């Protein structure tokens, strides 16, 4: 299992740049043992921790597909995080160099993907599921 863990660790490092989490989550039952070996060796790596959190949720879901946060893009996660920090749509649009209309579209997509209908509900769900840490909010 250690050689597999080394290969998985390399794959995680490669995936981190593009924030690719879904391939790992979809294979959660097959990689959880190795992930549990890798993550403690990399305590400061937020991406590795996020993959482990999402894999636990994916593995625990009844059908293996009720996994909304894996579908959020990095930009959507950035918007959700900034929103949780109290930035208005106008402020976060300026911070991310996007138009307010683009920010509004991102929020619509976030709500749809998370199955909620408000910013507060999205933030609460993200916090409850561990997608946003308290440091981000």
**Residue 67 placed within a domain:** no
**Residue 16 placed within a domain:** yes
pLDDT recorded at residue 65: 41
Which residue matches tokens 């992930």? 35
10-residue mean pLDDT profile of the chain (137 residues): values are 85 87 82 87 84 77 47 87 94 95 94 86 82 60
Domain hosting 53: range is 2-60
Answer yes or no: do 78 and 130 share one domain: yes
- Closest to 52 measured CA to CA, from 67, 68, 72, 31: 31
Number of Cα atoms under 13 Å in the Cβ half of residue 77: 18
Token pair in block for residue 103: 């920010």
Give the CATH number of the domain where residue 101 resides.
Answer: 1.10.10.10
**How many angstroms separate the most distant Cα atoms in the chain?**
49
**Residue 14 placed within a domain:** yes
- Phi and psi at 21, nearest 5°, equal -110, -30
**Residue 44 placed within a domain:** yes
pLDDT recorded at residue 98: 96
The whole-model pTM stands at: 0.51
pLDDT recorded at residue 66: 47
**CA dist list (Å): 127 to 6, 26, 104, 111:** 31, 22, 21, 14
Answer yes or no: do 76 and 130 share one domain: yes
**Residue 43 placed within a domain:** yes
């Amino acid at each position: 299992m250690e050689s597999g863990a080394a290969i998985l660790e390399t794959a995680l490092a490669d995936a981190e740049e593009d924030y690719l989490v879904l391939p790992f989550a979809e294979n959660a039952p097959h990689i959880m043992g190795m992930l549990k070996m890798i993550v403690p060796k990399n305590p400061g790596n937020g991406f590795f921790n996020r993959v482990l959190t999402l894999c636990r949720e994916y593995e625990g879901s009844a059908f293996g597909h009720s996994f909304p946060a894996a579908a959020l893009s990095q930009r959507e996660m950035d918007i959700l995080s900034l929103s949780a920090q109290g930035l208005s749509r106008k402020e976060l649009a300026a911070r991310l160099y996007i138009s307010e209309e683009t920010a509004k579209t991102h929020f619509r997509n976030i709500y749809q993907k998370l199955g909620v209908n408000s910013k507060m509900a999205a933030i609460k769900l993200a916090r409850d599921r561990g997608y946003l840490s308290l440091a981000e909010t």
